[in-house]
């Protein structure tokens, strides 16, 4: 059974640009969550989607947005990139009921220059 | 505000030298406490869920325990392959997979 797939794995952008990251959950999983991981702050919750609806949102500025498609695949977008957005962005999927037992992908490492 | 603090930040052990990692938390209403393991370049991997004080879970050389204010991850006779960052997280609300994570304990086990 394939795990959570995130693309791209690595990317470099410059300040002011925008970026779109993609996540394909485990087959049959309908819940997708996004987290930002930095050395200083650890993992911080961005948002969570279930059946194409945002179920919860973290304390990030409006430059961070996401969506989920009917096949449960999800994308997140960051506009007007800042240096502080450099991080590992992790996607996690879950079955239907929220349980906290998440299956994480390997992440997309974003570097903003 | 929900908060999770892990200690120590880093731990170096000799193979076979048992130890414990600490996770203290403040949350308005604990729905679950989770332990994850993260290897370099990988996403976190789920280990345990604990729901109430007094509960214990075991898996190979790992044992997780929970009190009303903290959780411990006990590592018995560790091996080099146990080297990883161990993350603790709490779930403070129902109907969400939002987790509040600590910054982790980086464990290194030397042969």
* Joined tokens for residue B91: 């779930």
Query: What's the distance, Cα to Cα, between the start and end of chain B in Å?
Result: 41
- The answer to whether A10 and A109 are in contact (CB under 8 A) is yes
Surface of A (43-82) touching B: CB under 8 A: 43-45, 48, 55-56, 58
Angstroms from A80 CA to nearest CA on chain B: 26
Residues of B with CB under 8 A from a CB of A: 31-32, 34, 41-46, 49, 87, 89, 91, 94-104
pLDDT tens-digit map of A26-60: 999 999 999 999 988 999 999 999 999 999 999 99
**Which residues of A are less than 8 Å from B7 in CB distance?**
none
For chain B (111 residues), the mean pLDDT of every run of 10, in chain order, is: 94 98 93 96 95 95 96 98 97 82 97 95
**Which residues of A are less than 8 Å from B57 in CB distance?**
none
State how beta strands B105-110 and B10-14 pair.
Answer: parallel
Determine the Cα–Cα distance for residues B15 and B80; give it in Å rounded to an integer.
7
């Amino acid at each position: 059974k394939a795990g959570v797939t995130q693309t791209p794995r690595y990317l470099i952008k410059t300040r002011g640009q925008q970026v779109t990251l993609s996540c394909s959950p485990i087959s049959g999983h309908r819940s997708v969550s996004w987290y930002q991981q930095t050395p200083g702050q650890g993992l911080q919750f961005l948002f969570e989607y279930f059946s194409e609806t945002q179920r919860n949102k973290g304390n990030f500025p409006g430059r961070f947005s996401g969506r989920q498609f009917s096949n449960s695949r999800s994308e997140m977008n960051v506009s007007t990139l800042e240096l502080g957005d450099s991080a590992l962005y992790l996607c996690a999927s879950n079955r239907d009921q929220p349980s906290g037992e998440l299956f994480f992908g390997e992440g997309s490492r974003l570097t903003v220059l | 505000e929900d908060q999770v603090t892990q200690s120590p930040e880093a731990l170096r052990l000799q193979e076979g030298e048992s130890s414990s990692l600490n996770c203290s938390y403040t949350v308005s209403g604990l729905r679950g406490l989770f332990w994850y393991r993260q290897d370099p370049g990988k996403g976190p991997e789920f280990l345990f869920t604990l729901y109430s004080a007094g509960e214990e879970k075991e898996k190979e050389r790992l044992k997780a325990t929970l009190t009303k204010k903290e959780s411990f991850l006990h590592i018995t006779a560790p091996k080099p392959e146990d080297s990883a960052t161990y993350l603790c997280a709490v779930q403070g609300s129902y109907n969400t997979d939002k987790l509040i994570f600590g910054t982790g304990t980086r464990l290194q086990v030397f042969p």
